[in-house]
Structure 1
Amino acid sequence: MLPAIAYYRVSTDRQGKSGLGLEAQQIAVRQYCSLNNYHLVSDVIEIKSTRKHRSGLSEAMELCRQNRATLIVARLDRLGRDVEQIASVVKSKIKIVVADNPHANELTIHILAAVAQDQRRRISETTKEALAAARKRGVELGKNGKCLSVANRKAADEFASQLSPLIMKFRKRGIISIRAVSQELNRKGVPTFRKGGKWHPTTVYTLINRLNKQQINHITYQSHAKHK
């Protein structure tokens, strides 16, 4: 089997401890490895990294050199948020595999990074323009947005709870992988949270992460209750 080093990055310490975002990355990488004859020698989890200081990524790259291993990430944006960051990794001559786009080579990785960076810039500009226009109309920003965000989060949590028994049934039947779960949900005609859409691996990632968070909160609550 081919040696591989997994690199996972989460944005905050809270996400790192709770597993939010992390488990989805781990599932994607492990599934890719199992299907493509890779053996995970080690993995590195980066928490609260900055654009300039990525000690975890440096550690993962050094492990790749020592073990003559491939660096595997779940998504391209885990390597970096701009072209310069990703280019520096590509120039290191370490073989890189992006689990959700495994056929990407050095050239396409550069292109995808450039496109993603441009999209983020355009979204940022559009958002700023929309906010400026809203302020000119006298709209009070912040308060209503926070209320809507809380309402949406609560509705999404309730939706995930309703699907929890079905997901457990899938697991008992051996339907475990994210892709298999999304296919089964579509086969059964189970509606998505937004209604009218189809299930994709990314939406299943979100669902599973939300259920995992609920489970963690439930365990924490029980632990506190016992110590009262």
Structure 2
Amino acid sequence: MRQRGFYAYIRTSTIRQGTEGVSLEVQRSDAERLARLKGVEIVKLFCEMETAAKQGRRQFAQMMKELRAGAAEGLILHKIDRGARNLREWSDITDLIELGVKVYFVHDALDLTTRGGRLTGDMLAAVAADYIRNLREETKKGIVGRLKQGLWPFGAPVGYVNNGKGQAKTIDPIKGPLIRTAFKLYATGDYTLKALRKELHARGLKAPAGKNALGVILSNPFYVGKLVLRSSGEAFPGIHEPLVDQALFDEVQAALAGRFRRKPGKHFFLYRRAIRCDSCGQWLAGERQKGHIYYRCHTKACAGTSFREERAHEAVELGLRRLSLFMQTCPGLEPVLREAIAERSRTKDATMQMLLVKRGKLEERLSAAADAVIDGLLDRETFLSKKNELLDAKARIAGEIAQLETNGVPIPPLAEHYLELTKAFQQQAFRSSPAVAMEMAKRMKSNLHARQKSVELRCSDQFQEVLDQAKTLECALRQDDFRTSTEYWVKLLMDSDNVPTSPCPRDMKAKD
């Protein structure tokens, strides 16, 4: 048996219309007026600020559930399109008639208990559904049009601010640098999303609520200047200023994908993930025992590989001391290296021209791919995949161009590290503390390698050659070797991408 009284349902399409407009109040007043005319009482009002074009409105669904259960004898709607703009929900409303529910409309004088009234209602519902379909298509066209102009037609992501319609988003002077810091910190692999959220909060940035809200931010290509339409996956180049470069963004995506992750330990150990077992290749784990820190390999076959932290200190200092002696033996290397860097900087114009040519070729490939789709030579899915790849490459080149305009030709990493280390070695900074020494070793991309009770510092291939040479000669290069040695080391340090295959000066001397 149905309860006495009527339900009323009112709705606006957006929250702004509901909070700032008068639509909800007008609909409520009209529903109450109709109830008085019909001599019925509204016992419950359902109010919603959400479009009726899609299914899933919570208030509407709850109301329909209660009506099917007999909670009220009737329903008052403002208009057909206020209740439903998709035919499925209109069908749900008309099904209430079969259950004995009375349905009244404020602005549509329909009697749904008659065949003519049902037919008229069906026609009005079809018109409303067609209207919303057309509106949706026109809205999509407008969105795509803005994207093609390089504009993001939605709200600004965290770290940017809105500047009105037709204007590009600009970097928020407060939140923008913090978002950039978030990318840099997460790229190190030393932070989980939870730890990163705490760190950002401590620095003054409150991340959006949600379990994976920070992950969504870090995976948003908007921050590298790319606009991606989520529904289709199609990408467009944006005209806003990127917050991070493509290289950093790619590192963060690798971390998010789990291709590498460093889990922060419960205790801090200076050589965490810095000592590798020569036998099995696993990292040695740190542990505290009887007031001392030990590092040991937990692989069964390597049970004897363990030592106290002091031995690792000694290995790092020994390796740095050998490199320091080499630098002292070749005092002429630093000015020659600086001159080589200056010479490379003078090639800025040529480098810029090369990058512009690369960018032009990428644009030609994008245009050719679009033509191939039009001519039916390429399917849309393949085109979108290829387009995203080309846009990523274009973003990387844009980052290189921006860096070139700001800083000139980048100094090769190893050469830059060498000059920094030269100053540090002159001050014997590595003797101040093991932490400083390890930081200097990391700048040389160094790791410690252990076998049983012995441990040795090994660097990247280029720096390792320096250490090996210093270890062999004990930095006793003769004066007649100086020119050959200097040319060799300059070539070694200026080539950060390829390990030189030419023999070292000592080997060349031996062959003579």
TM-score using structure 1 length: 0.49
Q: Which has the higher contact order (CA 8 A, sep 6+)?
A: 1
Larger helix proportion of the pair: 1
